[in-house]
Amino acid sequence: MIHKLDVRDYDMTDVRKPMVEFRKYVLDNGLKVILARNNKIPSVVINTTYKVGSKDEMPEVTGLAHLLEHLLFEETANTSSGEFDTLLQSRGGESNAYTSNDITNYFMLLPSNQLEFGLWLDSDRMAGFGVTSESLEVQKKVIHEEKLLYCDNAPYGSVDEISSKLLFPDCAYKWPVIGDVENLMQLSLGEVEKFYSKYYSPSNAILTITGDIDYSTVPELVNKYYGTINSNGAIHRTEFGTLRQTLTLSETVPDNVNLPSDFIFYLVPEKNTREYIVGNLLSFILSYGESSLLYKELVYKGDLVSDIDLTYHALEKAGTMSLALSGYADKPIEKAVEKFDNIIGNISAGYFENSLIDKAKNQVMTMYCNRNITLISTADQLANYEFYFNDPEKINTSIYDYLSVSKNELTMFAKKFLRPDNRIRLSYIPKNKK
């Protein structure tokens, strides 16, 4: 018997709002600036997001955005390779970077008395190209090892590459962020610089600073280091291509693993949509926590697979909802897929308890309060909300979007997108061992 649960209302006065106070403005050269003061610790984060990702590459030269990130992450015109990080660490800071299909993001963490130094170092990346061919050759090798580590040698490590190819055959999400590594080895410094010159312009970037800052002095510093960099005008991006309307492909992939796993991907709407909110809430209902529908039915009670995971991954131009089913050696995963289809069928028909929605909303609420807890994640989210929604205020308001989702919307989402003719399926099986 399930103990009766009381339904709570969402009293937003619980949340001391606004959660994140910030200011946003644009420099004359087009650089967008977001400042968010928070002085709980004497540190600052400088986050520069360039609106360039793997989808801006040409199909014949993929992996360029990520290669450039590797290079610019540790070398600029005024700091040689090695010197960048030595300088940064000697000021008590450290840095990291990532590349996605849509963006390239660099961030730096420093004691707040080193803010000006950090702005100097970060802006040097935007001010000019200083990569040497020695660094290029070393980073090609490093990326090759990165590919071995996360793709070739990792169990089920090819899921990303194979699924992208099947989901997005006619557009620039077709190739993985790391790109065609063999091809990458042939790239010249000139080709890298050309890509840099096209995309690393202030008008194509978002600068976000969080932490122990002074609103009255920071804009002047930002202007000193970034305002002096010229914009190179409008960027003519490469064609993105088109999305498929139906998908029914499935593929069996023999891999160097001991256990089978299945991966199912649905094509769903992109980030800046109401459907993204609805679908994301649905993913909480389906797979967040041990009492979630899928965990309970497929793992805990059903014992059909050993684990499940369902994720809504949204990009600028498209999204995917992916289900991972980790199988047992001696049980067919097919049974779990059938059960999953039944559950989706019930949701599409509106057969599910309202309490599931309330629970998911409670979970989103806790996550909402918990997620702005570090300066790094606050900066990252502000930059992402600016990039995807042109609205960093979403960091404070998106919770209302989630709390307003209705049962009917969830049902409609499942009916419209979680259709058998809108998905691909990869079945990983153990290949014969030596």
For another protein, the binding residues in 131-190 under the rule CB under 8 A are 137-142, 144-146, 148-149, 152-155
Residue span binding another protein (CB under 8 A) among the ranges 9-17, 159-167, 275-283, 386-394: 9-17
Per CB under 8 A, the list member of 51, 66, 174, 359 interacting with another protein is 359
Interface with another protein (CB under 8 A), residue total: 93
Report the SS3 class of residue 251: strand
Per CB under 8 A, the list member of 18, 21, 113, 254 interacting with another protein is 113
Which of residues 221 and 247 has its CB atom nearest to another protein in the complex? 221
- Chain positions 362 to 381 lying near another protein, rule: CB under 8 A, are 362-367, 369-370, 373-375
Q: For the beta carbon of residue 96, count every other beta carbon within 10 angstroms.
A: 11
Count CA atoms closer than 13 A to 34's CA, side-chain side: 28
Which of residues 242 and 355 has its CB atom nearest to another protein in the complex? 355
Tell whether residue 66 is a contact of another protein (CB under 8 A): no
Per CB under 8 A, the list member of 92, 254, 345, 350 interacting with another protein is 92
**388-421 burial by CB neighbour count: b if 16+ within 10 A, else e?**
beeebebbbebbebbbebeeebbbebbeebbbee
Tell whether residue 12 is a contact of another protein (CB under 8 A): no
What CA–CA distance (Å, rounded) separates 162 from 425?
Answer: 10
What CA–CA distance (Å, rounded) separates 16 from 323?
Answer: 36
For 286, phi and psi rounded to 5 degrees?
-80, -35
Tell whether residue 216 is a contact of another protein (CB under 8 A): no
Q: What is the nearest approach in angstroms of another protein to the Cβ of residue 188?
A: 18
- Chain positions 67 to 86 lying near another protein, rule: CB under 8 A, are 74, 77-78, 81-82, 85-86
Q: Using alpha carbons, list the distances in angstroms from residue 219 to 34, 36, 50, 184, 223.
A: 10, 12, 20, 39, 6
- Chain positions 298 to 337 lying near another protein, rule: CB under 8 A, are 300-301, 303, 306, 326, 328-329
Tell whether residue 434 is a contact of another protein (CB under 8 A): yes
What CA–CA distance (Å, rounded) separates 288 from 290?
Answer: 7
For 89, phi and psi rounded to 5 degrees?
-70, -35
For the record, the structure tokens of 348 come out as 């599409």
Which of residues 277 and 424 has its CB atom nearest to another protein in the complex? 277
Does a cis peptide bond (omega within 30 degrees of 0) precede residue 18? yes
Q: What is the nearest approach in angstroms of another protein to the Cβ of residue 120?
A: 5
Tell whether residue 294 is a contact of another protein (CB under 8 A): no
Which amino acid is located at 140 in the chain? Answer: K
Residue span binding another protein (CB under 8 A) among the ranges 179-187, 229-237, 339-347, 395-403: 229-237
What CA–CA distance (Å, rounded) separates 43 from 93?
Answer: 9
Strand partners, 253: 428
- Chain positions 231 to 270 lying near another protein, rule: CB under 8 A, are 232, 256-259
